[in-house]
Structure formats: structure tokens, C-alpha cells
Structure 1
């Protein structure tokens, strides 16, 4: 019974564009645990016992909240399902990390430092300077920047075809951003790379995600945006946060205007729901 309910639940989420990987694994584990006990409905006691098998408080809470979301949907159709309290193990103490909001000078220094990367006479410095600038100017995800192909660059903007939620979108570009991208393309199209990726390394291949993060940290430390390895500081993902904050700062101070702006901004950033 629970197995079929889970199959229907997973199919619905995948139809909505979610990969449903980690939740799917956790819920299959929970359903097997419950069905082994002969249960065909969710009970708080079983959720508690199963979740407490996780090795850390954070993982226990993640298990709890994953099953809780599943139970909320099931209870709407069958009130026999119990929805465990989100505070079953106490209130969460972990808080989302406060993002670093870049100043225009920070971004300029970041791009300038990327231009100073080696090897000399290679496309690598221009690749990272343009990539970091593009992320700052559009708020796109790092993974989206890496995934852009040459045909995705159009007169109307960038086509973001490989998104987190499998929803393609068009990103219009500011004229200054367009000019910077055109400058990069002049060099990129002269390369002998066999890849159609927009951003390539000096070896002619698209940079891997961990490589981009490593290069960003190197560049950020060179201009004191980051401290020594192991210390906290500005992250590349904070460029996305900065874009959203600066965009909202420029919005008219009116509740309805802000609401409309947030809806448009969420679409531009590729969120599935308003922020």
C-alpha cells in the first residue's frame, strides 16, 4: 500500500520537473521499514524510530521533514496518515549562511584578477573573467554558465536550456554585458576546440564545476575577498544573491510593484516558485 502511494508521489514530482533523487531514496527506505512492520499508513512513532537511525541530528531532521512532506499529501486523501511535528526532535539550530553582497568595486576587482590568470596567451583568463562577470550580471547559477553552448547565444539573449528544474528560459542581457560577451566570442570562435561549449579552458574543454570553484577561490583570495583555505568568505554563489538584492533595491518602494518585480525576478533567475 505505502509502496504504491510512494510510486504515485514520486511520479507526480518528476512530472513537475523535480529529479526527486535524494527524497526518493529516503522515502523508499522509510516505506520498506514501515511495511516490514506490517503498517500501511504513516504513524509518528514509526517515523521517529526510523529517523533516529540516522547517524547525526541533521540527518535525523532531514529524514523527518522528508517523510513529513510525504505524509501531508497522503493525509489530504486519507486522514489515517499521521503528520509528525516538524519539531519532533526539537527546533532546528542550523541557519542558512548569510550571503556576502558584493559591491560594484568587488566585482570589478574579481574580473580584473581573473584577467591576470595564466597561462599567458591562452583563453583561460578571458574565460573566467567573462564567466564571473556574466554570473554577476545575470544571477545565473554556476552550473548554468558552464552548460551554455555556442548556439545558446542569440541576438535576444542567452538561452538557458540545462536548468536545475529542467525549465528552459531566455535571459535578455544588458548592452554592456552583451558587448563583453561579444568580445569573448571573438576570441572563443578562433579557438581550435572541438567542443560547442561557450566557456572553455586553455585545453579546449569545458571547465568542470569543481575546477570553476577552485579558480574562483584562487582569484578571490588574491584580492582579499577570501582568507586562507578553511576560512569563510565571499562565495561564487553569492554573486547570484547580489544580483537579486541589487535588483530589488532598484524596484519602486510600493507593495504591488515589489510583488510584480519578485515574480519577474524569480522567472529570470529560474526559480520554480517566487522567492
Structure 2
């Protein structure tokens, strides 16, 4: 790779090579192209330097250190790629700007908040139309299964297996697929929605399970916008580190509630955690264990269990 190539060309070559072997790199691609424009605006010539990488990583509207750390972690694979063509390229060491694994505490929904959300969704306009049923069922499914919003929106009609009471989640995060067993009440709610959808849209050709009133697959921007409208109506105040409750917090709440029930019923969480991790699509059980330290109610239950355990240990 020659220095005469623009940084944008180098990024595009890298993204093409990575996508050819299956990596999507959507957000990473956007950030790397932003880095290329940054380098070109500064008239950078020659191999990528540590100084250039640091300047871009720290050139953000966000003052949070984790933002710069995440930017640097996006750059590192690209810079390693460049180094094979130019040994003078300076690859930043891992964790140069700190860890990227710090996670803000999510909003944990109370049962009455979830009920209020579904009731408000059912009152959306047009009254009696498909839109209220779509969003009521959509948000209800996330609350009942802990699925990601992207997974729910990608569900195809064939992925909802009513007879077996199972969903097929295909090629989700980290390109993993999995089966999601459903409670009978969730199956019934999905069946009601499917019947109503087919009644309103008998000629729809889109194979997605959730459809807009125009017969097209829902997109995440419309779902987020509708959720924001309902959130403002309900007047929720965030409990956590985010400015406002999010759709994704329904997933967090599902995981938290599972763990709370297990601790309260004296279930061996170490044995059950792998099943929960698989169910919600976590790659590592440590991602699920994180909730124990993030949610005060869980920490209190863990402390109580440890206290009982400590009292049972005989003194020497």
C-alpha cells in the first residue's frame, strides 16, 4: 500500500477486505471513514502515527474518557492492517486510553411501568388500527423474552413457530443464531397479532413478522420514535446512568428479574446462568453476571445469601 493513496482509500480497502470474510462493520466503518476525513483535513502524509490516532480518538464532543477509549479500539485493527504494508505504522497498545468495558447502569422497569407502556401503546392512533397492536406486541415481546430490538424487528413469519412455542433468532449479534422458547401467554399474544396483521394486510408480500400499517417491515427509527412519544406521555424519570429509559432497558429488566427470582428462591445461580446467557444471546456468561454488580437489588440479595453462608461456616 503506497503513501500516495488517500486515507479514505485505505479505509475503503480495509472495509472491503473485512466484509468479504463476513464482518459487517457498520458503525465501525462510519467511524473509520470519519478518521480518514480527519486525517485528510489535517493534510496528514505518510504512515499512521500514534500522535494522529490519539488526536482523533480524543477529538469528540463527548468528554467521557470511555468515548476516546472506544474510538481507539475501533482504530487498532485498521492500523494493524496498515502495518503489514508499512512497518513504520505505529499501532497503539491495547487499553491505551483505558477500558472500553465500562457499562452504564440501565433503567430497571417496574412491573407497573411495563404494564403502563403496553397500555399506552394499545391507545396509539389510529384507534382500532394495526399500529397500536404492532407496538403493543413488539414491546411486550421484548419485555417477555429479553430479545434485542434488532432481533425482534428482523423476525420473519417463518421464524415464529406457533405450534412449537419457539422463535428462531437468526444471525444476531456476533453472527449467532438461537432458539427462544416462549411462554404460552406470549404465543397467544403473537397469534392474535398475526391474525390482525393478516386481516389488515391480506396482500402484504413482506415476509417480516412485524409490519407497518403500509405493509412494510418496521425500522428501528420508527420504533424508537414511537417509544419516545410514549415515554414522554408516561412521564418516566430515569433510574440509572442513562438520561432516559430506553427500549433496550426492557431487555436488561428481563435479565435482572430472572436473577432476582433465582436468588429469592435459593436457586443455584452458577448452574443456571449459562442457560440464561444462551437464552438472551450473550456470548459470555460474564456478560450476564455483570447484572449482579450493576443492580442494587441483586447486590442486596447476593449479600444476604453470602451472609447466611458465612454464618454456616464452622469456626476452627
Q: In the alignment, which residue of structure 1 is the partner of 2:197?
A: 188
Take 1:91 and 1:63, find their aligned partners in 2: how far apart are those partners? 11
How do 1:100-119 and structure 2 match up within 5 A? Answer: 100-119=107-126
Q: In the alignment, which residue of structure 2 is the partner of 1:168?
A: 177
TM-fit CA distance, 1:165: 3.6
Take 2:173 and 2:127, find their aligned partners in 1: how far apart are those partners? 35
Counterpart contact for 1:199–1:207, Cα < 8 Å? yes
Take 1:65 and 1:175, find their aligned partners in 2: how far apart are those partners? 43
Q: Give the length in aligned residue pairs.
A: 262
Return the match for 1:199 from 172, 194, 210: 210
Which deviations, in whole Å up to 9, do the C-alpha atoms of 1:68-122 show, x marking residues without a partner?
45678999xxx9986535665x658996432111122221121122111121221
Counterpart contact for 1:137–1:177, Cα < 8 Å? yes
TM-score, normalising length: structure 1: 0.72
Return the match for 1:234 from 235, 245, 260: 245
Take 2:227 and 2:277, find their aligned partners in 1: how far apart are those partners? 25
Once superposed, what is the RMSD of the aligned Cα atoms?
Answer: 4.2
Structure 1 runs not aligned, ≥5 long = none
Counterpart contact for 2:171–2:177, Cα < 8 Å? yes
TM-score, normalising length: structure 2: 0.64
Which deviations, in whole Å up to 9, do the C-alpha atoms of 1:122-153 show, x marking residues without a partner?
12111111111001111112122222222221
Return the match for 2:168 from 156, 159, 178: 159
TM-fit CA distance, 1:162: 5.4
Q: In structure 2, the residue corresponding to 1:145 is in which secondary structure?
A: helix
Counterpart contact for 1:220–1:226, Cα < 8 Å? no
How do 1:47-62 and structure 2 match up within 5 A? Answer: 47-48=53-54, 51=57, 54=59, 56=61, 60-62=68-70
Q: In the alignment, which residue of structure 2 is the partner of 1:208?
A: 219
TM-fit CA distance, 1:240: 0.8
Q: In the alignment, which residue of structure 2 is the partner of 1:139?
A: 146
Return the match for 1:220 from 225, 231, 235: 231
Q: In the alignment, which residue of structure 1 is the partner of 2:277?
A: 266
Structure 2 runs not aligned, ≥5 long = 6-10, 288-316
TM-fit CA distance, 1:179: 1.4
